[in-house]
Structure 1
């Protein structure tokens, strides 16, 4: 094997490096977060592709600019960039990627595929079930090139035809097959440089492996690149003797960056250190350990008392090695597994309590299972799992008892309570009380998952059945809020076996309705929540009103698919239901939403907007209005109150993050994405889309692609009826998410209007607006319909849509709504009246935070001015629109503005040709926060990364921008 030498000086810095938004499904790959001007359809669809279900096609055109962001990997990327560059230059290059499982080899193939612009990319992966089928892997690689069979020599083509099953004949000569593959590759490369990527080559059938090995050693002056991935040299002897790139683990700093990218909520510092240490730079291990630990384990460092996943082959091997050890050694390993912070002092205290001597540690080290130094570390994360899986219940109890005795009650009461709780086997009220106190402390630290774990165990240990039922009910509610809604439903089934009062049974129905809707998003969600609110009303009027608010939000989500319960049904129930004992702003928002659907917008909207504005101005919102934020944010969007929507959506997201209510994060993030897009900040929207994906993966929610679809549309990506976006959103719609259909069709209409494809926009916008009961996104789609219909001589259709739109925007009387109305009215007015409406639209929209709609008003005004022959006036408006669109990544609308400017005689340079700045999107956010005066810990809190990671990024930012202090950042950053 020949490892490719590479000097440090030869490694270029990668602007795409990022630690944010890493996908667990793609190991260390994350969408490229470059300067906002580099956001283009390919980049944005790359973001969404990570949300799409199922594997992608084997053949993927490598699109220039798609790019992939990696944590670290400068050396490996430089080698792979060199390979692609050589292929583009007409040379042949072959490379074997080797490294342990989970080290990131597939992610590096993703990098090659995403950065092989100008090349044709063919990609396959070895499949274990096909290893006995001769030429199975080779057939999948060559199938897209079979049209070249007729161009290669006849003996070779005949051999390949038989090998691939497209002709009948005797067993083909292996040499002719191999030569034929070489000829076919050469023919394909003659049309376009060719890059072939073979993942899991160790799982190829032997005939395919030998053929590829033969071809790899004989490629010469042809534009062909071949990258093969195996674990070890011995995995596939047929592929030996090739240039090799060994992929090693991430260093400590890179491991921290990767771990930061997926952590949500509080994390115990010792647990964090242990995770990084045991993973040893393996990205898959880093990304998997938080899943194993769970929210409680990350917050407080609790060991698990069991594992549920089926053991892997590697774990089974560790189990066999454990079986050879003495019982005392296995007991020591179990204590170490249940003390996940790796505290060596704690380990020896507990070991002494169990009568375990140092010889047990010697045996464990000799077996290669554990390292005991300044910190206790297992040699592989799966050793910890294997130890727990093979231990008996009694051994668990003894280990927890020893650890509880070894834990200082004053320094760490929560960890001691946890160990005590798992050391007892019968009801124990004193321990249950300790767990309740720990749950209260967990809540104050934002550890909702930890609080749920404490409370669930407290319920199991409570001697009084009524107390057990109360604790179990609170635990189920906490489980739901932490994002574990299915677990909450299971816990409720246990709670119902305990004696409950009538009020508690009503509360059970509330939690069941909330958890059921969160977990399954079915169209029955509004009905379940409405029924639960009505059952709770006699016992807890305020709690019932909060549940009515939840029902409203569910009804907005279900939208057009609502069965017998829609927003009007819920509004009627609110009007006839109980009043709050002490009405506050949250009550006014709920009543305002009810009035909106019962009395209509002309009467209710002004009152609702007043309540929303007062809620925004209330500095004590975090204490008494948190539960009202989802409804308040949705209400602000529905009544075109842009300032309230901006503030309340941000508060909703902030509260979900700070309180650790993971279940609230996906809808809060999606709302924040929409706000960022309409404010003209696609960079922040892209980061939020990645965060949504990460939260969904961590909490195992169903996909939530609405934000990604909207981002793709506004960035100018083409979302055709057969694209992955529509497939995924339609899947959600079939499960009850009616808003998914509205969002998709609105997004299609935006994208089509941006490109000037007005007939397509009409079709999409009509689908988005065909459900009269919806507000919000449906009304936005109405504006798209009016613009598209006005450009396609469908004046009657446009006039009908404008009449309906105006009935709401005039009732709300906000600058956002009236500005959109004025813009739409201008496009339908005679020339004598149009200019006044255009100017009104710009004036009103300039007073809002909705920057993108202000730019669109200038665009259509400029287009109208050009048609009037007023070229100089048109240029002024079109330049402003083009600058905003191009500088912020709205490439479809930017191109439309550029074409219009060209029609006036001015030819602006395409902003996408200028190339991206050196900062990634994550770095841009850090730089702006630092320029605003935030400290490193404050920035870390805002972006869910550590202060040390912030400092690392700032060093890169200073070097890239050529500044030496934070004071210089503001002037160095684009405004």
Structure 2
């Protein structure tokens, strides 16, 4: 039975109210999220009030975005969470500490903003343990950026908790896109007519009524304002021209006129309330006293329905707040901000005081600029990069000294870039370039512009530069940094190499070699090379200039040094600066042990610290290692987690290792569209490496399916350009495809190239792959010995897919040689390995060979986790290993309640009743 509707009845909103009623059932079974989207005045706030009225059994917390408060980090989140802070001690220590730092309640390193999101999620879960909770966020588009991003993250991660999150927005911001959405449109004509007639005193001419209804487009607020702004005479005669007054600007203009008709002291008090976004009554009273205006002067505004004066100051509509501010002249605004700065406690709220002082400034003011810089530093320490950027941007505007203005503009641009506001960063760099910059500052500006161009090139956004152009710009920036900041110059050379590697076959090959040569020159001027970054630059530059095998010692030292750093460093978790170069270096060495160690330590540290921005790439690279070792289920779990984390942060999931996983799984209907989409995307943005990866994975897929001509075509395309890191792998695909297709010349040439690259690696993996390739092209006298040697090496290396493929090829050769018994042993081992790892295409290829060798093979599906989802499988594995719900929740960035909810479903699917039984359940393999 639906609950009886409470609160005022909203005209014409039955469908919307029904949708909202479903959000708040008496006994919620899990989390629910809804974004109400519609233009100003359409009734979103009224619908949120209806929602709150229905949720009588819920604990409700509310926050409304305020346009003037958008620059203060965590301001909106702090207001929303303040009623819940009694549960703070129930949070895991890292989350509790992060929230305390973010809210200015404690000191410490700047928290990862997504760790703050986890803390908010845990706080909500704790608060909802005994009573479901409703979180209402009105005018979410005006929340400060970091609060909005955090709430968007929370909305995507809540699952089993009895928490409802309802947002109201005009246009959906990026942080909330993809969440369940309900568009709120204008009222129907019939409902709008009824509403208009209900507020008209003395009635209205039907023709005038219909015209007003048409021109207001059914916007309730516009309709309700008609009798306040138009005289009965105008309405009765039909002389009033409404025009486009249904727009937001027109409605606000009506509010402005109403406010301008109020007494001067009332207007000044309204301006004070509008400029003070928290609604703090005590602070408002202090400001009124400082202005010398009695609070009674607010009475006319209350009578007009503009504002409510109570325990908090509350405008009856956000447009009224905006109108109160815009109705005032500039001098009054400055006066009010100056008064608010004077009455704001500099110890408890120094940042808002600095912001008021900035708005009170009539021109450049160095003392205010310095205060804003201090606020920016505090914001940075709390993880509020967007707020820091805003403070620095305003400080730049208030700086008269040209050199100091340039330095502040550069700092503001760096913060804007970190806050994902590249257009604002570019504008600030333009301001900096007009100042008197030192050569080093100009070089820093050039590097920032090139870095932003590279990020845009990879995004594929319309009008973005090609990846190759960004690589060239980074090379130019690195040269400008020479002798000015040698460390930064070498880092930028490595950035240019990274960008050129992404550009690959679609870029200018001269950029890669020029960046490598310049990097080597920079390294040669160093007395000693110690930093992992410099070792990586040295090794990769040697490999690019001098060919296969060159630079291996430096690359190995760099990766081992990075591993020690990741294992032992106790400082803040940092992003990998050059993941493509690190991964490619490990692959050029045919040594994934070191990459597994680095990624494992990075995953551990990111989990411990809650650094989700670092966790996602670390999970992705570790997933790649699992693929190469045949642990496809583990790789899928990690990629699913990485994609979930990436999506919750509003970023685009990384494609590369997802393509490799799809190729090895071998389901053509799923894999081919992924490869085609990657090829199209890489071509469009000039990212040739993605095109090459797609062709390499097509070769793997088609070799598994036994479609060798198609595999040969894909491998040939891939091998037209040497993409460092996976070119050698594709040479092996070329050897196998060509050998099966009868193109012995191509296969032999590819073996030579592969031997040059993998043969000198000194690792069992590299040597084993070369032996397997040679066996494929050897005559019958030498093939068997080569196959035996390859099997031994790859078994020692632990590279299960290549070991199974070598056994498969060995079995095929043995069958053709008439040794059917020996063939069955190799083919059975290959078939079982492929089946266990979930490599469906190769498993079916081995099965066909076994049947041809006279073996009866029962066809059975590849293991898939017995119906468990990736997250359920991951949680089950951790529970089977003895981890508690709280420990699992901390590792997977969930709440303990959500972990328990997942485990209940796991028990039902597996037909078990206890955690102990998980250790012997069939899904564990």
TM-score normalized by the length of structure 1: 0.61
CA shift, 1:527, in A, is 1.0
Q: How far apart, in 2, do the equivalents of 1:883 and 1:870 lie?
A: 20
Specify the alignment match of 1:731 in structure 2. 681
Q: How far apart, in 2, do the equivalents of 1:419 and 1:636 lie?
A: 53
Specify the alignment match of 1:920 in structure 2. 869
2:715 is the alignment partner of 1:768: no
2:232 is the alignment partner of 1:295: no
**Residue number among 423, 442, 450 corresponding to 1:505 in the alignment:** 442
CA shift, 1:602, in A, is 3.0
| C-alpha distance after superposition, 1:391-414 (max 9, x if no partner) | 539699899878877876555655
Contact 2:559 2:582 in 1 (8 A): yes
Contact 1:448 1:660 in 2 (8 A): no
CA shift, 1:780, in A, is 1.8
CA shift, 1:507, in A, is 0.7
2:521 is the alignment partner of 1:583: no
Instruction: Tell me: CA distance 1:338–1:850, structure 2 relative to 1, closer, same or farther (3 Å).
Output: farther
Q: How far apart, in 2, do the equivalents of 1:371 and 1:830 lie?
A: 94
Q: How far apart, in 2, do the equivalents of 1:369 and 1:948 lie?
A: 41
Specify the alignment match of 1:613 in structure 2. 560
Specify the alignment match of 1:470 in structure 2. 407
Mark the runs of 5 or more structure 2 residues left unpaired by the alignment: 3-18, 38-46, 48-54, 63-76, 82-94, 96-111, 153-168, 174-182, 187-217, 222-247, 260-265, 289-293, 459-465
Specify the alignment match of 1:226 in structure 2. none
| C-alpha distance after superposition, 1:299-330 (max 9, x if no partner) | 799xxxx9998999679766588766975899
2:791 is the alignment partner of 1:791: no
| C-alpha distance after superposition, 1:807-831 (max 9, x if no partner) | 0112322233222222222222234
2:484 is the alignment partner of 1:539: yes
- Quote the RMSD (CA, aligned, Å): 5.7
Specify the alignment match of 1:746 in structure 2. 696
Q: How far apart, in 2, do the equivalents of 1:372 and 1:801 lie?
A: 81
Write the mapping of 1:38-437 to structure 2, written as runs, cut at 5 A. Answer: 264=114, 266-267=116-117, 293-295=144-146, 298=149, 347-353=280-286, 392=326, 409-410=346-347, 426-437=363-374
SS at match of 2:406: helix
Contact 2:637 2:874 in 1 (8 A): no
Moved more, 480-489 or 935-944: 935-944
Specify the alignment match of 2:589 in structure 1. 639
Contact 2:626 2:635 in 1 (8 A): yes
Contact 2:450 2:474 in 1 (8 A): yes
Q: How far apart, in 2, do the equivalents of 1:352 and 1:699 lie?
A: 41
2:408 is the alignment partner of 1:488: no
Specify the alignment match of 1:548 in structure 2. 493
Mark the runs of 5 or more structure 1 residues left unpaired by the alignment: 4-27, 29-70, 78-98, 105-231, 233-247
Contact 2:273 2:284 in 1 (8 A): yes
Q: How far apart, in 2, do the equivalents of 1:100 and 1:357 lie?
A: 40
Q: How far apart, in 2, do the equivalents of 1:841 and 1:824 lie?
A: 9
Moved more, 429-438 or 540-549: 429-438
**Residue number among 750, 772, 776 corresponding to 1:823 in the alignment:** 772
Moved more, 825-834 or 711-720: 711-720
SS at match of 2:741: coil
Q: How far apart, in 1, do the equivalents of 2:904 and 2:303 lie?
A: 40
SS at match of 2:434: coil
Contact 1:756 1:896 in 2 (8 A): yes
CA shift, 1:735, in A, is 2.2
2:783 is the alignment partner of 1:834: yes
CA shift, 1:496, in A, is 1.8
State the number of aligned residues: 726
SS at match of 1:811: coil
Q: How far apart, in 2, do the equivalents of 1:463 and 1:361 lie?
A: 43
Instruction: Tell me: CA distance 1:561–1:385, structure 2 relative to 1, closer, same or farther (3 Å).
Output: farther
Moved more, 823-832 or 327-336: 327-336
Contact 2:877 2:924 in 1 (8 A): no
Contact 1:330 1:387 in 2 (8 A): no
| C-alpha distance after superposition, 1:525-577 (max 9, x if no partner) | 22111110110111100111111111111111001122253432211111222
Q: How far apart, in 1, do the equivalents of 2:397 and 2:801 lie?
A: 55
SS at match of 1:587: helix
| C-alpha distance after superposition, 1:597-648 (max 9, x if no partner) | 2233334224422332233234445769966542323322333221122234
CA shift, 1:474, in A, is 2.7
Contact 2:410 2:445 in 1 (8 A): yes
Specify the alignment match of 2:506 in structure 1. 561
Specify the alignment match of 2:542 in structure 1. 595
2:828 is the alignment partner of 1:897: no
| C-alpha distance after superposition, 1:322-358 (max 9, x if no partner) | 766975899989979986xxx8xx6434444565989
| Bigger Rg, which one | 2
**Residue number among 731, 742, 746 corresponding to 1:782 in the alignment:** 731
Contact 1:546 1:627 in 2 (8 A): no
SS at match of 1:919: coil
Q: How far apart, in 1, do the equivalents of 2:872 and 2:272 lie?
A: 42
SS at match of 2:782: helix
Moved more, 504-513 or 883-892: 883-892
Instruction: Tell me: CA distance 1:316–1:848, structure 2 relative to 1, closer, same or farther (3 Å).
Output: farther
Write the mapping of 1:865-944 to structure 2, written as runs, cut at 5 A. Answer: 865-871=814-820, 873-903=822-852, 904-912=854-862, 916-917=865-866, 919-929=868-878, 939-940=888-889, 942-944=891-893
Contact 2:599 2:621 in 1 (8 A): yes
2:480 is the alignment partner of 1:527: no
**Residue number among 754, 759, 764 corresponding to 1:805 in the alignment:** 754
SS at match of 1:776: coil
Q: How far apart, in 2, do the equivalents of 1:597 and 1:915 lie?
A: 41
Contact 2:640 2:870 in 1 (8 A): no
SS at match of 1:267: helix
Instruction: Tell me: CA distance 1:736–1:901, structure 2 relative to 1, closer, same or farther (3 Å).
Output: same
Q: How far apart, in 2, do the equivalents of 1:557 and 1:481 lie?
A: 22
Q: How far apart, in 1, do the equivalents of 2:269 and 2:900 lie?
A: 42
2:662 is the alignment partner of 1:712: yes
Q: How far apart, in 1, do the equivalents of 2:119 and 2:297 lie?
A: 30
CA shift, 1:786, in A, is 1.2
Q: How far apart, in 1, do the equivalents of 2:641 and 2:542 lie?
A: 35
Specify the alignment match of 1:64 in structure 2. none
Contact 1:603 1:811 in 2 (8 A): no
TM-score normalized by the length of structure 2: 0.64
CA shift, 1:274, in A, is 10
Greater length-normalized contact order (CA 8 Å, ≥ 6 residues apart): 1
SS at match of 1:753: helix
Specify the alignment match of 2:235 in structure 1. none
Q: How far apart, in 1, do the equivalents of 2:716 and 2:665 lie?
A: 22
Q: How far apart, in 1, do the equivalents of 2:832 and 2:315 lie?
A: 56
Q: How far apart, in 1, do the equivalents of 2:905 and 2:302 lie?
A: 43
